[in-house]
């Protein structure tokens, strides 16, 4: 069995991304025969075929997906090493994890703010769920994480509040309720809901389970883009946190859910003893949160 090589891993990754050996060769500046040769060597190293050859391109096999997971780690580390070698004074670096809706506006704005105030600070972003992100902190894989909900911090992890986020109903701009700025949960009971799960307790709908009514679920879509696409097509309504409102398309209106339970806490988690809440990026997160909160108030008034 042969050995994996950096060149071979890059070729495999590009072929998987493009679905074509020819396009991979064009993007990498190699000849097609060189790409084919590298793929053959990587398949020998893996001991399995990495691609299903088809009439109109190639498709990664399950073995290829395993190789790709590790290839990303190896190649990203090498790219980081190159960056450090180009600069005799390596820039400071922070590895940040976040839940999906925080990456819609809160995190990007914080990165922009941090870049303006601390040009040498580089941010590495990882999206994930709370258990995985907390594990990443305890294992030293990330430095801090933006999490949703009342988080129970494991040993060695500190948690500090970032903001209390309001929940909103997203509707098409032509929806009969679109003219409202706020509504109680009772006013929403007859709507067709687009949710992430058939079980309301596992979605944001569970935030007011005490309302005494079960939502009529029209569509289940786990991905936020899919949910908003269905809303934008006028096929139902969904709930969005305030953090996601600035990223909504123009065809979607938002209505504040007027209920004490229709909020969720957003927190910052970091390793104990490292003053994570005083880090420059934590300060940028706080500034970003303040900006988004102010803009949300203006949007709801208008």
Q: Are residues 256 and 279 located together in one domain of the fold? A: no
Q: Are residues 149 and 78 located together in one domain of the fold? A: no
Q: Which of 262, 249, 233 is nearest to 169 (CA)?
A: 262
Tokens for 186? Answer: 């009772």
Total count of domains within the chain:
3
Tokens for 148? Answer: 């949703």
Q: Are residues 182 and 254 located together in one domain of the fold? A: yes
Q: Are residues 259 and 297 located together in one domain of the fold? A: no
| Domain-ending residue, one of 70, 86, 102 | 86
Contact 230, 194 (CB under 8 A): yes
Structural domain boundaries enclosing 218: 165-263
pLDDT of 201: 63
pLDDT of 85: 74
pLDDT of 61: 93
Where does the chain show beta strands of DSSP type E? 51-54, 57-60, 93-98, 122-127, 144-148, 157-172, 182-183, 192-195, 216-220, 238-241, 252-257, 263-271
Query: Own/partner pairs for 243-248, CB < 8 Å, 24+ apart?
Result: 243/101, 243/102, 243/104, 243/105, 243/106, 243/165, 243/292, 244/101, 244/104, 244/105, 245/105, 245/168, 245/292, 245/296, 245/299, 246/104, 246/105, 246/292, 246/295, 246/296, 247/104, 247/105, 248/170
Instruction: Determine the Cα angle at 238 with ends 235 and 241, to 5°.
Output: 150
pLDDT of 15: 92
pLDDT of 198: 76
pLDDT, tens digit, 9 for 90 and up, residues 109-140: 999 999 998 888 889 999 988 888 999 999 88
CATH code: domain of residue 241: 3.40.190.10
Q: Are residues 188 and 245 located together in one domain of the fold? A: yes
pLDDT of 202: 65
On whether residue 196 sits in a domain, the answer given is yes
Q: Are residues 196 and 254 located together in one domain of the fold? A: yes
Q: Are residues 236 and 270 located together in one domain of the fold? A: no
pLDDT of 270: 92
Q: Are residues 54 and 99 located together in one domain of the fold? A: no
pLDDT of 170: 92
Q: Are residues 153 and 203 located together in one domain of the fold? A: no
Q: Are residues 169 and 223 located together in one domain of the fold? A: yes
Q: Are residues 36 and 59 located together in one domain of the fold? A: yes
On whether residue 1 sits in a domain, the answer given is no
What's the predicted TM-score (pTM) here? 0.63
Q: Tell me which residues of the chain have a pLDDT lower than 70.
A: 1, 87-91, 200-211, 300-302
């Amino acid at each position: 069995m042969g050995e994996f090589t950096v060149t071979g891993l890059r070729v495999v990754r590009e072929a998987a991304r493009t679905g074509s050996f020819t396009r991979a060769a064009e993007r990498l500046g190699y000849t097609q025969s060189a790409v084919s040769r590298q793929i053959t060597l990587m398949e020998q190293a893996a001991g399995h075929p990495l691609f299903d050859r088809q009439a109109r391109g190639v498709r990664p096999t399950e073995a290829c997906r395993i190789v790709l997971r590790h290839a990303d780690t190896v190649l990203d580390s090498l790219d980081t090493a190159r960056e450090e070698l180009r600069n005799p004074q390596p820039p400071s670096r922070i590895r940040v994890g976040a839940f999906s809706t925080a990456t819609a506006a809160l995190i990007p704005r914080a990165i922009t703010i941090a870049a303006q105030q601390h040009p040498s600070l580089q941010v590495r972003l990882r999206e994930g769920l709370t258990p995985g992100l907390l594990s990443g902190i305890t294992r030293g894989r990330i430095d801090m994480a933006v999490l949703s909900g009342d988080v129970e911090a494991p040993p060695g992890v500190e948690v500090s509040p970032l903001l209390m986020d309001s929940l909103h109903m997203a509707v098409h701009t032509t929806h009969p309720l679109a003219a409202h700025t706020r509504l109680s949960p009772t006013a929403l009971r007859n709507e067709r809901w687009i949710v992430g799960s058939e079980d309301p307790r596992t979605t944001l709908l569970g935030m007011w389970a005490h309302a005494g009514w079960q939502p009529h679920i029209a569509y289940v879509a786990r991905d936020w883009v899919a949910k908003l696409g269905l809303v934008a097509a006028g096929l139902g309504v969904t709930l969005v946190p305030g953090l996601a409102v600035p990223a909504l398309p123009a065809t979607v209106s938002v209505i504040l859910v007027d209920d004490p339970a229709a909020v969720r806490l957003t927190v910052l988690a970091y390793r104990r003893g490292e003053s994570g809440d005083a880090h420059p990026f934590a300060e940028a997160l706080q500034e970003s949160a303040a900006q988004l909160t102010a803009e949300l108030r203006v949007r709801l008034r208008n």
